[in-house]
Structure 1
Amino acid sequence: MNVQLFIPCFVDQLFPETGFNMVKVLEKLGCNVSYNSNQTCCGQPAFNAGYRDECRSVATKFVKDFQVYDYIVAPSGSCTGFVRNYYSKLFDNSATHNEVKLLRKHMFEFTEFLTQVLGVTDIGATLNGVATYHDACGALRECGIKEGPRQLLSKVKGLELREVADCEVCCGFGGTFSVKFEAISIGMGEQKVLNAIESGAEYLISTDLSCLMHLDGYIRKHGLSIKTMHIADVLASGW
């Protein structure tokens, strides 16, 4: 099965090891993985800030960079959800409409691809400890992803998965929201972290590194022992 990687800005600039771990997992499952080094952003930051024309320019490049019929897999529900749900609005009644339609059909978030396309839940990973899973807004609300990540984590040897209070509540990052409404954003992140700690979790796991970066900032500032991990890093552990 041919898979093209889309590596979001956060992963490319700050957490490249997550991208490599995603490749490690996909290749273990027999996928032929390729990466177009010309790719850039999907355009979501500009769109959310109200810069629709600028977003359309970036999105047009994205469509050109992925003009194939392979699966496109990204370690981000946020970026995947944006392409699926908003590209049709950006390119409505345009010459790019049919290309966008195919693109949206072939794009998947990483855990969604594993569970729904490959039909795999046990990667053979091992991680000893207690963890909780954070439902990132992009994955849960934009892509409808909820059970897949939990199924994958339940098969990780040595890992005890615990649900926490308000696991579906936003962590407070929200892109530019965290800049415009800093105090509210920090308060939301604090509650998310404290809920995780109260459960006894040693790891706070999610599909989106934007959420995890925000939460890890609070954790580091207050010297807390809980660790954040992207689910691709978890699934690549122990083998």
Structure 2
Amino acid sequence: MALASILVVEDEQAIAEMIVTSLEMADYQVKRAANGQIAYQMVLDNAPDLILADWMMPMMTGIELAKRLKREENTAEIPIILLTAKSDEDDKIKGFDAGIDDYVVKPFSPRELLARIKAVLRRGHADTEGKGLTVGQMVLDRSAKKASIAGDVISLGPIEFRLLEFFMLHPDRVYSREQLLDRVWGGNVYVEDRTVDVHIRRLRKSISILNHETMIQTVRGAGYRFSAENFTSE
């Protein structure tokens, strides 16, 4: 029985063939795209379980592909592993800011690649199939689109739910208004940056039971951060 479906986005023929052969031998379902533009259309037509994308490609880089997919609601949750010769910390930060899930630095062994793939798929499976996300006494049921605090269901609008879900999946990191617009609202929606502030206020009000609103912190001049570190319970 085949495992997950993987889209390999690599413009170098020899590297692509090596990767595809290794994945097929491990019983993955594999498709290949020669560049980011082709890959983007393939993902829209038939979303894979995971994407392996080279950083440096003509027409659309792996980073550009990741940013585009993470802005779309239907593709935002697809895990992406970036294949790159870049190993500097600043380059890695750029990748993670674009929403990628992991890095594999060239040259790499098929064994390392398969281990990274299994780890990322395992994390993604736990996120979508687990009992929910929990911080403090707050529980988010992603499949039922419901949230509760200390057993009491709280009322959240669609945007507030997506904001809270994003924050709980990405704790202890500062996100600017622009980044939140990209990741929560999506790339096809054009609203003012200050709209984020309005929905943050609504979300804080909704989760104010037992002081959970203190988890959403304003970082002056930078944006917002979700963290339980400074959470103050009554």
TM-score tier (shorter): 0.3 to 0.5
Structure (1 or 2) with the greater strand fraction: 2
Q: TM-score, normalised by structure 1?
A: 0.32
Structure (1 or 2) with the greater helix fraction: 1
The higher-RCO structure (CA 8 Å, 6+ apart) is 1
Q: TM-score, normalised by structure 2?
A: 0.32
